Structure 1
């Protein structure tokens, strides 16, 4: 098994094909349309911006290699992350970390759209389960998330409750983000801005039907775990 990154994906596919190695590929949703339509494994690609086009190219080449029986692989796709430790995500850097530090959280464009977020330990557990399931290969899988989706307003209030803090946040306007007034993690998300203006509905029903005993972490539980880890430092 392996994990491919943009830039070396062709070499990874070729190496797996030559050596008969199975590939478990960790992917995101940058290539999906940035609309409020529900996202499933069959959602067509409609990338917006350079990052989306790169991700679409990688996913398409992997699917083509699978269709041509060059290798046995699976594509494991996730929405936006949140999680403990050094999780690198917009939600962690713009919301969770500032709140833990007693600062003001930042939200892109709107605070009232529904967000689908995946807890990083859930993504790891789900990939391990898929990778060890022989009939899960040669498919795309959406990894499991809590379907009780929150707005960022609700997420911030829940995080602040866990911290015993005030739910202070600022809604950033498009011009502030495009102007690059904030850190590099936030600036790099500029091409994804349209998806923050609408509900983000990432559907993982296929995984949940195949693995009904897998329990996705609820947002309250995930945030409580993150807060405990942060405050122990």
Structure 2
């Protein structure tokens, strides 16, 4: 059995789809899990409770953590270290392998200009401090020989489940409403963005490859990183019915800080502005070479995303 902890979000759904290539016994764990595949096993659980985490992992060969807490620093500081400790304890207790779907917040400053698996942990934000701490906790358990685990990293992402995608919120949602697309800090800097189906497939492939364990992996992402302005153009080309004005409304760092007094998400994003005021390039060459994988191009990813959302409307 393979288990997804936090199965209801954009990544959990895509991992569940991809796992059907490897197993017919998939356990979906969340407060109110919903089937992705017909044969999925639903396991309603409060992942804040260590005893319930232990039960959720029991009987699993592989546990995938695709939890997505609300975008709030205080909540992250409170929830993430406890969750990861409980998951690691449960995986050790039940001799279960762990695959942690991670972002790249542990890598800060100019190190985001070319992100590889060997990029140093260099957090420059409170959220980054949290992610670095949980990464180190997993890696320490691996180094001690107590756990087999993978840290599978992804940059910002986009796809048909748009609620947790900043790219979709800034561009697609605004264009759909007939408003000008938005971007942070500098729309002429490149910004790698993963496509959720590729990220889900990559996570499942790693989990089911024994030799991939006890390493950090960057998940598959198109090697061409568009600028913010180019991302807007890609969406505009696929949304011809949009009556949004051309161009991009760029919110500078100081504007994020000022508006953050009134808009909670901008208050939370202010410390992450370093991902937008300089180039942000995510390099997945290690994965692509090891698995012979060709990520979906950005243009095709946008086309598929817009078509999927249009069909569901």
Asked if Structure 1 and Structure 2 have the same fold, meaning a TM-score greater than 0.5 normalized by the shorter chain, the answer is yes
State the structure with bigger RCO (CA 8 A, min sep 6), 1 or 2: 1
Is the 1:157–1:167 contact (alpha carbons within 8 Å) kept by the matching residues of 2?
no
User: Whole-Å Cα distance in 2 between the matches of residues 175 and 55 of structure 1?
Assistant: 25
Change (3 A) 1:33 1:12: same
Conserved 8 A contact 1:4-1:12: no
RMSD of aligned C-alpha atoms? 1.6
Q: State the SS of the aligned residue for 2:304.
A: helix
Aligned to 1:18: 93
SS at structure 2 position matched to 1:8: helix
Distance in 2 between residues matched to 1:26 and 1:189, nearest whole Å: 21
Partner of 1:141: 217
Instruction: Name stretches of at least 5 consecutive residues in structure 1 with no aligned partner.
Output: none
SS in 1 for 2:134: helix
For 2:64, the equivalent position in structure 1 comes to: 2
Q: 1:182 and 1:137 mapped to 2: Cα distance?
A: 44
**1:85: how far off?**
2.4
2:143 paired residue number: 67
Cα distance, 1:167–1:223 mapped onto 2, change above 3 Å = farther
Q: Structure 2 CA distance, aligned partners of 1:184 and 1:81? A: 21
Does 2:290 correspond to 1:210?
Answer: yes
Deviation at 1:182, TM superposition (A): 7.1
**Structure-2 change in CA distance of 1:31 and 1:205 (3 Å):** same
1:34–1:192 Cα contact (<8 Å) kept: no
- Tell me the secondary structure at the aligned position of residue 64 of structure 2: coil
Residue of 101, 105, 108 corresponding to 1:30: 105
Cα offsets for 1:5-43 (capped at 9, x unmatched): 513100111111111000010101111022153111111
Residue in structure 1 matched with residue 132 of structure 2 by the alignment: 56
| Separation in 2, partners of 1:208, 1:223 | 20
Aligned length: 232
* Higher Rg: 2
Indicate the SS of the match to 1:209. helix
Equivalents in 1 of 2:221, 2:262: separation in Å? 28
The residue correspondences of 1:123-202 to structure 2 (distance < 5 A) are 123-164=199-240, 165=242, 166-179=245-258, 180=260, 183-202=263-282
Unmatched 5+ stretches in structure 2: 1-62, 68-79
* Distance apart, 1:73 and its partner CA: 0.7
Alignment partner of 2:182: what SS? Answer: strand
| Deviation string, structure 1 residues 109-129 (Cα, Å, up to 9, x no partner) | 111101111001110010011
Deviations 1:134-191 (A, max 9, x none): 1111111000111111001111011101111454420001122112167544442221
How far, CA to CA, are the matches of 2:168 and 2:254 in structure 1? Answer: 22
SS in 2 for 1:107: strand
Q: State how far apart, in whole Å, the 1-side matches of 2:181 and 2:249 are.
A: 6
> Are the aligned partners of 1:114 and 1:200 in contact in 2 as well (CA < 8 Å)?
yes
